[in-house]
Chains A and B, each alone.
Chain A
Amino acid sequence: MKKGLLLLAFMALPALAFAQKKIEVTFQTDGVCGMCEKRIETALLNIDGVWTADWDRESHATYVVYNPKKVSEIALHEAVAAVGHDTPKVKAKDEDYAKVHACCKYREDEVQNAHHGG
């Protein structure tokens, strides 16, 4: 019993970081679909110091909660741009944009219309 509880506590304790100060930010991020959502959120969640991330398909708003001691706000924008999505502060490089799937090419009108029309 004791051994088991110790092991559980060992795994759970590092996560009990309630005292950490966190910042909430929201910024626009270009994208069109569920695949984009997954790509944007995964890129952010993979950053150490990002607590939670959510991209809204309707409003294109990215909501991020992060620990400023571990990561800066500009690094969030850079991470999103690095997987091919434009933000107000960092525009994705053409070679990164080229990597997103054909149906996620949000810079093209045809794709935008298809998603809105669909």
Chain B
Amino acid sequence: MRRTNAFWGLCLPLSLFGQVDTSLYNSLQIDEVVVREEASGLSLDSKSATLDLTISRTELKKAACCNLSESFETNPSIDVSFTDAVTGTKQIQLFGLAGKYAQIQVEMTPLVRGLLANSGLSFIPGTWVQSIQLTKGIGAVNNGPESMTGQINVELLKPEDLVDAAESPDSEGRGDVILNGYVNQGGRYEFNEAYGVRINDKWMVASLGHISGRQQGTDINGDGFLDNPLGYQVNGMLRARYFGQNGWEGIYTFHALEDVKKGGQILSAFAPGTSVDDLWSSSMKQGRVAFTAKTGWVNPDLPDQSIGTILQLYSNEMDGSMGNAIDPLHASSLYGIQNGGMGQFLFRHGWGTWSQTSGVLLTADRYDFDFVQTDLGTTMGWTEVDLGLSTEWTYAPSDRFTAVLGARYDWNSIVSHQVSPRIHLRWEPVEKHTLRLAAGRGFRNALPLVEEWGRLATNRTLRSQPSRVAHIMGGHSLNMEEAYNTGLSYAWNFVMNYMPGSLQLDAHSTVFGQTVVQDYWTPGQRYLYTQFTSSGEPIRPMTSQTAGASFTYQLNKRTEMRLAYRYQDLRVVYRDETGIVSQNVSLPAPFVPKHRLMAHVSREFQGDWTVDVTLQRYGEQPIPGTDPSAYPSVETAPAFNLLYGQIRKAWAGGDVYLGIENGLNVMQANPIDGAVNSQTGEALLPSSAHFQTYFDATRIWGPIFGRMVYLGTNIVL
């Protein structure tokens, strides 16, 4: 009998690879049942009180490349944008607001935060990702205070994902090794590895590896600058998993990475005799070492009762420079180190229709910076400690209604006492028609210079208001950023012509009480406002209003389509200093299109062929102008379309994929100002007066590199 029960265990899982996560930390989220459908790569959880979207491994395969910052191409909620034309940093936007206002976590621990806030997304290789949970709107209160626009949690491959795949009866022992290779026309190559092995009936271990880089540069637009930076990334993770008796489990992870990027001018674009020292160049080196221990216990007699602890220690480092010593006024360098950690304890208990999750979260970070720019240089360091207590109560009297009330209290060493209440309501008045309402507050402490590092690729003069250098670094002299988010949504899941589909409408509003504002509207200048003073009405320095509609439908068993539209209005308060008395003006934020459209079709063919096509339309967006006599100096960047396509052929032992990015070959005409002599067309050096006055690589609104073909393969052993 015992033997056959083991058989039953083997037989049971229809979806071993796409299983519901057994991790306790997921069960501790406020979503009570995470139903993951294998059929669709994007699934909306209809039972969750928050607006949760799960992006599966299947869906991630449709994205052209390679890491998390690029994995949202087929997602209607998240936009990907560039910060500048030299560092190659891609950032995401949610509701038109920068990714830093969403709380991005890896298995409930921070990675894209602090020194890695601007580039951390590129340190999560797509091959490692098991699934992504995206919450639009304010998220669960227990995960920390930093969620303002939403939460993104990335679950990586765990040892059991690999071991179970190989042990499942129909896999023929295949699945514990995944190898991935990728090359593209832009000279980028990538190699990924995942390997899991069972040690005994309690322990499993896994390794995740990543090497990528670009050694060959291109300059398609002939401006003397590399289209993409050169460099490499080495990234590795070792994981040990424990499943014990009596409901105990744990996962212990060691993570280390190094990333080097060098961008700027190419020697071959200039006359013979030019030296490397004459060129404008940028470099950034980042590193991280981290150890994470997560241990959980589910009461075997009372599955509604569980305890979870997370402990993480890390050290992040960055070392960057920009410019050329010939023009010291505009050359800058930044060195930073962040040593810190977090500890979290969560307790969940349920009584029928009620359940509660409460937690204690302690985070501590020591920052040390050395910033050099002729008239702004500074060395400073500080420690930020945050101790938060949170509790969240869920009342679910029926399948049709869920109310979640939560609040957290934070004592923060920089901004002292903070209270952040949050509320989530879900109501299904008619079956398959779901309404959701969410509202709440979040706050964070900014590191303006680190977060906007790429935006130093300009000869605009950096000014701070009030004019204290410390403000642009962060820490005690800077006030927090805080926002209130409210969201209302309606979702309808229907079946038409025997096939499933969904319609979703949502409206979100994010209102900032305080924020750091970047002002590019004065030509030649770039202001950072860290405080707004007003004698009368309270000033809301930044507000985002968005409304979206998305429609998904499975046309038949092999064809899936998605259509989405979003309107977003992001307004920021700037200070017009051109008059005798400076006055506040409210203007649309730069680099945020008002209208966004997406269409996606994916179709399977006989013989395990899959074809995906995605069209992304970016509407017109305001960008900083160059007219020196105007305030605000605004130009309008044209609307454009990005077309992505991919063909994939799968076998039992893996797949091969060939794809195209930016299929319509859209390119921003002159992404870098002041780089080229407009009469002769020859590239200019930083020693030239024209370059020194006008150089600006931050007015970037579209692709720099045109059409790009790529080829990749996954091998499953």
B416 at the interface (CB under 8 A from A): no
Contact A34 B14 (CB under 8 A): yes
* Interface set, chain A 34-57, CB cutoff 8 A to B: 34-38, 45, 50-52
Taking the closest CB of chain B, its distance from the CB of A84, in whole angstroms, is 13
With A and B bound together, what is the CA distance between A110 and B611 in angstroms?
A: 44
A82 at the interface (CB under 8 A from B): no
Which secondary structure dominates chain A's binding surface? helix
Q: How large is the interface on B (under 10, 10 to 19, 20 to 34, 35 or more residues)?
A: 35 or more
Contacts of A117 in B (CB 8 A): 1, 5
Contact A8 B613 (CB under 8 A): yes
Contacts of B613 in A (CB 8 A): 4, 7-8, 11
Residue of A nearest to B559 (CB): A15
Q: A33-B12, A37-B14, A113-B4 are in contact. Are A8 and B601 (CB under 8 A)?
A: yes
With A and B bound together, what is the CA distance between A76 and B7 in angstroms?
A: 29
With A and B bound together, what is the CA distance between A103 and B663 in angstroms?
A: 48
Contact A115 B11 (CB under 8 A): yes
| Total residue contacts A-B, CB cutoff 8 A | 96
Q: A7-B613, A45-B557 are in contact. Are A18 and B13 (CB under 8 A)?
A: no
Residue of B nearest to A16 (CB): B555
B615 at the interface (CB under 8 A from A): yes
With A and B bound together, what is the CA distance between A5 and B664 in angstroms?
A: 12
A111 at the interface (CB under 8 A from B): yes
A104 at the interface (CB under 8 A from B): yes
Contacts of A36 in B (CB 8 A): 11
Contact B169 A103 (CB under 8 A): yes
Contacts of A12 in B (CB 8 A): 555, 559, 561, 601
Contact B556 A103 (CB under 8 A): no
Contacts of B11 in A (CB 8 A): 32-36, 101, 103-104, 115
Contacts of B599 in A (CB 8 A): 4-5, 8
Contacts of A37 in B (CB 8 A): 14
CB within 8 Å of B: which residues of A?
1, 3-5, 7-8, 11-12, 14-18, 22, 32-38, 45, 50-52, 65, 101-104, 110-111, 113-115, 117-118
- Report 25 cross-chain contacts, Cβ distance below 8 Å, ordered by A residue: A1-B664, A4-B664, A5-B615, A11-B601, A11-B603, A11-B613, A12-B555, A12-B559, A15-B558, A34-B14, A34-B15, A36-B11, A38-B170, A51-B498, A51-B557, A52-B498, A52-B499, A101-B169, A103-B10, A104-B11, A111-B4, A111-B7, A115-B11, A117-B5, A118-B9
Interface contacts beyond A12-B601, A114-B1: sample of 17 additional A-B pairs, CB < 8 Å, sorted by A: A1-B617, A1-B641, A1-B664, A14-B559, A18-B497, A33-B12, A34-B12, A35-B11, A36-B11, A37-B14, A45-B557, A52-B557, A101-B169, A104-B11, A110-B4, A114-B7, A117-B1
The 4 tightest CB contacts between A and B, nearest first, are A34-B14, A15-B555, A114-B4, A33-B11
